[in-house]
Amino acid sequence: MKKLIIVELRKLMCRKEFYFSIVTLVSLGLFIVYQLHSNGSIIQLSQEGNDTVMVGELLIGIIGLFNMTGITAVMVCILLWKMIGSEIDQKIISIYYLNSPSRLRVYFSKLIVSIMTILIYIMLFISFVVITSYLLLPESIPPLKNSIFWKEVLIAGASFVALSSILILFAFCLAYLFGGMGVIVGTIGISIISGILNSYGFFSEWLPLTVTDFYNNYQNRDIAIFMGYILLLIIVSIPLIRRQEVK
C-alpha cells in the first residue's frame, strides 16, 4: 500500500486542481481577514463591544462559513473528481486493480491521500490566516502559551476535516456505483440535501452538517454520531469494492 500512496501523492502534485484549491482557499482567507481587520470592513464580527477579533474566533467563524455554505463540499468534489471519479469513468483504475493484490489497497491508498490532502489544505489555511492576522493586527494573536487559542485552532481545523472526511467517504461509495457523477452527488449533493433537511427538527440532529458543527457547542454525542457516519460508510464501501476483487 505504501507504493500506491506514493503514486497517488505524485499524481496529486501534478494536478492543477490541487494548486487551484490552495490558491482559492488562501485568497478567501486573505479577503476575510483583511475585511475584518480593516477600518472600512464590509464584514462585521464583534463580541461584546470589543472591536478586536481574536484569530481563534476568526478561524472558527471562517471554517464554519466554509462548511455551511458548501465551499468545503466544492473543494472536496474538485479533489476527488480526478482522484477517483474520472479514473472510474475512463477505466484507468482497472490498471491499478490488475497490478494490486486487492482492490481494497487501491481504495484505502486513495482514501488516505484524500484525507492527507484535506489536512494539507487546512494546515496551510490556518498558518496563512494566523500570519496575516499577526501582520495586520498583532494584538489579535494571544500568547502562544494560551491554551484557549490552541483549542480554538483545533476546533476550527477539526470541523473542516470532520465534514470533509464524511463527504469523501460518501463520494467514494457513490463513485463506485455511478462514477464521476457519484462524486458530485456524494459531495455537493449531500451538502445541499443536508442544508434542506436541516430545517426539519428531527433530521437536523443527525445530519453531517450539524454533527460536524464542532464550532458551536459540540458534545460527546455529536462526536459519537460523527464516528458512526465514518464507520458505517467504510462498512458500506468495502463490499462495493470487493465485489469484483482482483485476485
pLDDT tens string 120-175:
998 888 888 888 777 777 766 666 666 677 777 887 788 788 888 888 998 988 88
Grid cell, residue 81, equals 473528481
Residue 52 inside a domain? The answer is: yes
In whole angstroms, what is the distance from residue 65 CA to residue 160 CA? 10
In whole angstroms, what is the distance from residue 218 CA to residue 162 CA? 13
For 131, phi and psi rounded to 5 degrees? -65, -45
Residue 247 inside a domain? The answer is: no
| Residues facing residue 50 across a β-bridge | 47
pTM: 0.82
Number of domains, the chain: 1
In whole angstroms, what is the distance from residue 18 CA to residue 20 CA? 5
- Whether 188 shows a pLDDT value over 70: the answer reads yes
The pLDDT assigned to 38 comes to: 60
| Residues facing residue 47 across a β-bridge | 50
The pLDDT assigned to 215 comes to: 52
Query: Counting runs of H as helices and runs of E as strands, what totals does the chain give?
Result: 13, 0
Domain with 166, as residue range(s), is 2-242
Instruction: Give the CB-side neighbour count of residue 241, counting CA atoms within 13 A.
Output: 26
The pLDDT assigned to 127 comes to: 85
In whole angstroms, what is the distance from residue 29 CA to residue 129 CA? 6
- Whether 177 shows a pLDDT value over 80: the answer reads yes
The pLDDT assigned to 246 comes to: 45
> What is the pLDDT averaged over residues 44-62?
60
* 57-115 pLDDT tens trace: 777 777 877 877 788 888 899 888 888 888 888 888 888 887 777 888 888 899 999 99
The pLDDT assigned to 218 comes to: 58
Residue 134 inside a domain? The answer is: yes
Residue 82 inside a domain? The answer is: yes
> In this structure, are residues 233 and 166 in contact, taking their beta carbons and an 8 Å threshold?
yes
> In this structure, are residues 28 and 127 in contact, taking their beta carbons and an 8 Å threshold?
no
> In this structure, are residues 204 and 197 in contact, taking their beta carbons and an 8 Å threshold?
yes
